[in-house]
C-alpha cells in the first residue's frame, strides 16, 4: 500500500459568518492549503468535500469559485465525521494508486439555522420524542458521574482547559478563558451541562492537501505522514448498552493503533471530539490515555494540558475552537499538522512527533454514534 503524506493545510478562523455563502467560507481554506503546499491548483487530481448540512454539490460550489474544476469531486456526508471521512476517502484514493495529489475540504455553515440545538433527522424516532444532542451527551455524563463519582466541578474543568487553549489559537471561535465557577453558573442546557460545557454553533472551513509519500519530497521537506486512517460505524443495539463506554471509539482506536503499529503511549498530542464536556473524559479512557473510571483524576493531574504528557485539544477543541460539523475533522488535522511541524506558536506541544485526530458523531437511535473516524500522523 502506498504511503500518504500531508503537504498542505489551511483553514479560516471558525466563527459566525451569517452573510457569507458556503462557497465563500470554503474557498479561502482551500487557497490557504494550496499556498501552504506551494503547489499550483492544476496539480490537484481529485477533491473530496465533507459537509453534513451544506446541501448538494458543496465541493463544486467551493471549487468553482477558484477554477479548480473538471476533476473528480466527491461530496461526503457522515454527520460530525463528514470532514474526517472525506479525508479518509482522499487517503484511500492515493493509496489505491489512482492519484498522487488530492485535496480534502471540510465546510459547514450552521448560522443559517439560527441558534439553539443542532437540527436532527426528524425521521429518527428518538428525535421525534424530543431527543437533542446535548441531552444524549448529558445522559452519558449523568451515568458516568453515578458510576465513577465524577463531580460537577471536575466536569467543568474540561471547558476551562479547552477555553484556555482556545485563547492561544487565532482560529478559535471562543477566545476568552473561563473559570470553573463561570462554567457552573452559566445558563443550563441539559443537566449537568451549562452553556459553557456545550460546543458553540458556528461556521467554518478547513482544507488539506495530500500527496503520495513517494512524490511528496518534490513539494516540501517537513512532511507529516499518515500512519493510520480509520473509519467505522456504530453497532446497532436495541437493548442495554453502556453509555459510559463509547464503543465505536474504543473499537476504532484499537483498529487505528493496530494500523499504525503504535499505542496510546506513543501519542503526544490529540484532537478529540469534545462536543460536550463529558465527551473528552470518555475519550481519554477510550484511547487508553488513562484507565477506566480515572478520567477526572487524569484531567486534574494536568496530564492533558499543553505541557502535559499527552496534550488533548491544544487548539481549544470543539468547545473553544468551535464545531462547524463538516469542517471539524479537517480542522483537527490542520492543528495536528501544525503541531507536528512545530508551527503552533504559544500553544505548541513540545517535542510532538506523533499526533491523533478523532471525529465522531451522528445521534441516531440504537447507536452509540453513527460514525467515527480516527487518524494518526507522524513526522
Selection from 204, 243, 260, 261 nearest residue 375 by Cα: 260
> Is 369 a known active-site residue?
no
Chosen residue from 143, 153, 215, 251 binding other proteins by CB under 8 A = 143
Chosen residue from 62, 138, 210, 359 binding other proteins by CB under 8 A = 138
Task: Give 64-71 contacts, CB < 8 A, sequence gap 24+.
Answer: 64/23, 65/23, 65/24, 65/26, 65/27, 66/27, 66/30, 66/31, 66/41, 67/41, 68/30, 68/41, 68/44, 68/103, 71/44, 71/45, 71/46, 71/47
Selection from 221, 243, 210 nearest residue 363 by Cα: 243
Q: Which of 323, 358, 369, 375 is catalytic?
A: 323
Strands 188-190 and 101-109: unpaired
Burial (Cβ within 10 Å: 0-12, 13-18, ≥19) of residue 151: exposed
CB-nearer residue toward other proteins: 18 or 188: 188
Q: Smallest gap, in angstroms, from Cβ of residue 101 to other proteins?
A: 42
CB-nearer residue toward other proteins: 67 or 122: 122
Q: Smallest gap, in angstroms, from Cβ of residue 276 to other proteins?
A: 11
Q: Smallest gap, in angstroms, from Cβ of residue 284 to other proteins?
A: 20
CB-nearer residue toward other proteins: 136 or 359: 136
Site membership for other proteins, residue 132 (CB under 8 A):
yes
Chosen residue from 2, 42, 125, 265 binding other proteins by CB under 8 A = 125
Contact pattern for other proteins over residues 176 through 195, marking x by CB under 8 A: -----------xxxxxx---
Site membership for other proteins, residue 302 (CB under 8 A):
no
> Is 80 a known active-site residue?
yes
Site membership for other proteins, residue 306 (CB under 8 A):
no
Cβ contact 368:137 at 8 Å: no
CB-nearer residue toward other proteins: 43 or 241: 241
Distance between CA atoms of residues 370 and 348, nearest Å:
32
**Locus of grid cell 502506498:** 2
Distance between CA atoms of residues 165 and 158, nearest Å:
11
Helix (H) / strand (E) containing 9? strand 4-11
Site membership for other proteins, residue 238 (CB under 8 A):
yes
Cβ contact 165:180 at 8 Å: no
Selection from 1, 15, 5 nearest residue 204 by Cα: 15
Chosen residue from 61, 140, 220, 268 binding other proteins by CB under 8 A = 140
Q: Which residues pair with 209 in a beta bridge?
A: 8, 103
Cβ contact 373:359 at 8 Å: yes
The stretch among 59-67, 90-98, 235-243, 254-262 that binds other proteins (CB under 8 A) is: 235-243
Site membership for other proteins, residue 112 (CB under 8 A):
no
Q: Smallest gap, in angstroms, from Cβ of residue 237 to other proteins?
A: 8
Site membership for other proteins, residue 113 (CB under 8 A):
no
Site membership for other proteins, residue 70 (CB under 8 A):
no
Site membership for other proteins, residue 130 (CB under 8 A):
yes
Chosen residue from 102, 131, 270, 311 binding other proteins by CB under 8 A = 131
Q: Smallest gap, in angstroms, from Cβ of residue 113 to other proteins?
A: 11
Cβ contact 88:363 at 8 Å: no
Which strands form 46-50's sheet, in the order they lie side by side?
73-76, 46-50, 101-109, 203-212, 4-11, 224-233, 371-378, 354-361, 269-271, 311-312
The stretch among 136-144, 219-227, 247-255, 351-359 that binds other proteins (CB under 8 A) is: 136-144
The stretch among 37-45, 125-133, 219-227, 336-344 that binds other proteins (CB under 8 A) is: 125-133
Cβ contact 87:329 at 8 Å: yes
Cβ contact 2:97 at 8 Å: yes
Q: What is the largest CA-CA distance in the chain?
A: 57
Site membership for other proteins, residue 153 (CB under 8 A):
no
Q: Smallest gap, in angstroms, from Cβ of residue 65 to other proteins?
A: 34
Active site residues: 80, 323
- The residue ranges that bind other proteins (CB under 8 A) are 116-117, 125-126, 128-132, 134-135, 138-143, 146, 187-192, 236-241, 243, 365-366
Amino acid at each position: 500500500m502506498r504511503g500518504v503524506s500531508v503537504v498542505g493545510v489551511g483553514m479560516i478562523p471558525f466563527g459566525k459568518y451569517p452573510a457569507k455563502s458556503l462557497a465563500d467560507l470554503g474557498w479561502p481554506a482551500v487557497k490557504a492549503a494550496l499556498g501552504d503546499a506551494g503547489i499550483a491548483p492544476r496539480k490537484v487530481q481529485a477533491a473530496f468535500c465533507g459537509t453534513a448540512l451544506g446541501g448538494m454539490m458543496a465541493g463544486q460550489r467551493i471549487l468553482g469559485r477558484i477554477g479548480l474544476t473538471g476533476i473528480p469531486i466527491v461530496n461526503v456526508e457522515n454527520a460530525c465525521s463528514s470532514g474526517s471521512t472525506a479525508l479518509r476517502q482522499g487517503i484511500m484514493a492515493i493509496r489505491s494508486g489512482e492519484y498522487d495529489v488530492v485535496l480534502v475540504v471540510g465546510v459547514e455553515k450552521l448560522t443559517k439555522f439560527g441558534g439553539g440545538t443542532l437540527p436532527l433527522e426528524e425521521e429518527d424516532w428518538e428525535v421525534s420524542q424530543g431527543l437533542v444532542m446535548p441531552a444524549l451527551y448529558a445522559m452519558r455524563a449523568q451515568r458516568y458521574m453515578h458510576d465513577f463519582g465524577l463531580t460537577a466541578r471536575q466536569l467543568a474543568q474540561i471547558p476551562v482547559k479547552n477555553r484556555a487553549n482556545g485563547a492561544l489559537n487565532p482560529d478559535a471561535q471562543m477566545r476568552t478563558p473561563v473559570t470553573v465557577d463561570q462554567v457552573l453558573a452559566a445558563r443550563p442546557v441539559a443537566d449537568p451541562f451549562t452553556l459553557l460545557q456545550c460546543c458553540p454553533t458556528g461556521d467554518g472551513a478547513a482544507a488539506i492537501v495530500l500527496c503520495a509519500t513517494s512524490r511528496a519530497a518534490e513539494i516540501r521537506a517537513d512532511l507529516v505522514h499518515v500512519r493510520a486512517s480509520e473509519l467505522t460505524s456504530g453497532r446497532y443495539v436495541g437493548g442495554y448498552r453502556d453509555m459510559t463506554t463509547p464503543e465505536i471509539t474504543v473499537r476504532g482506536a484499537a483498529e487505528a493503533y493496530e494500523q499504525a503499529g503504535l499505542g496510546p503511549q506513543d501519542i503526544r498530542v490529540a484532537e478529540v471530539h469534545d462536543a460536550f464536556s463529558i465527551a473528552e473524559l470518555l475519550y481519554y479512557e477510550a484511547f487508553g490515555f488513562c484507565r477506566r473510571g480515572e478520567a477526572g483524576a487524569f484531567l486534574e493531574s494536568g496530564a492533558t494540558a499543553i505541557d502535559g504528557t499527552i496534550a488533548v485539544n491544544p487548539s481549544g477543541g470543539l468547545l473553544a475552537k468551535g464545531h462547524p460539523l463538516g469542517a471539524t475533522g479537517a480542522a483537527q488535522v490542520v492543528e495536528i499538522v501544525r503541531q507536528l511541524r512545530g508551527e503552533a506558536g504559544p500553544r505548541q506541544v513540545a517535542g510532538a512527533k506523533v499526533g491523533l485526530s478523532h471525529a465522531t458523531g451522528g445521534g441516531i437511535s440504537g447507536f452509540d454514534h453513527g460514525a467515527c473516524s480516527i487518524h494518526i500522523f507522524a513526522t
